[in-house]
Structures are given as structure tokens and as C-alpha cells.
């Protein structure tokens, strides 16, 4: 994932800080942050159903916290 993300940023001729990874999984966002990408956490409490706890985050863990993709877009000014 890290190599591919780095290649994609370079392919777009962007700096890592100009790119955001949005995901519902902490490990994906932590990897993206290690490359200098911005991070958007999308909370999906029912992702795994009633048998497994979904990832959670608290304010400040990531650049943007959202309830869904539309909420993320709104928070980004789209």
C-alpha cells in the first residue's frame, strides 16, 4: 500500500500534503500519514455487523473526522 500510494502521488505531480487518504480503518490512515498524506477518518459503526467492533477515532487522531462520505465532502468544503 505504501509504495503504491507514493507512486500515485508522484504520478499526479502532487506533494504528499496535497493528497488525502479517506478510510474507515486506522491502519490505512496511519500508513498514509507516515507518507505525509492528510487523513480523513470515516466512521462506519456497522461495518462488521454486531459481531465485531468497527474502528473508532477521537478528535485529533486524524486531520478530518466524518460520519460518512457526504459529511467528509462537506467538511472539506465541497
Quick: pLDDT tens for 2-21: 678 888 999 999 999 999 99
For 68, the domain range is: 2-75
| Inter-CA distances, 26 with 47, 52, 69, Å | 14, 15, 16
Percent of the chain with pLDDT over 70: 97
Q: Residue 67 above 80 pLDDT?
A: yes
pLDDT mean over 22-32: 94
The domain tally of the chain equals 1
Q: What is the pTM of this model?
A: 0.86
Which sign does the torsion angle of CA 34, 49, 56, 65 carry? positive
pLDDT score at 1:
64
| Inter-CA distances, 70 with 28, 47, 74, Å | 20, 17, 6
Q: What is the CATH number of the domain that holds 25?
A: 3.40.50.1000
Amino acid at each position: 500500500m505504501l509504495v503504491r500510494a507514493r507512486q500515485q502521488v508522484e504520478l499526479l505531480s502532487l506533494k504528499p500534503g496535497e493528497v488525502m487518504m479517506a478510510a474507515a480503518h486506522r491502519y490505512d490512515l496511519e500508513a498514509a500519514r507516515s507518507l505525509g498524506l492528510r487523513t480523513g477518518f470515516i466512521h462506519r459503526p456497522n461495518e462488521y455487523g454486531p459481531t465485531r467492533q468497527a474502528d473508532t477515532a477521537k478528535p485529533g487522531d486524524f486531520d478530518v473526522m466524518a460520519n460518512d462520505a457526504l459529511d467528509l465532502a462537506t467538511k472539506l468544503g465541497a
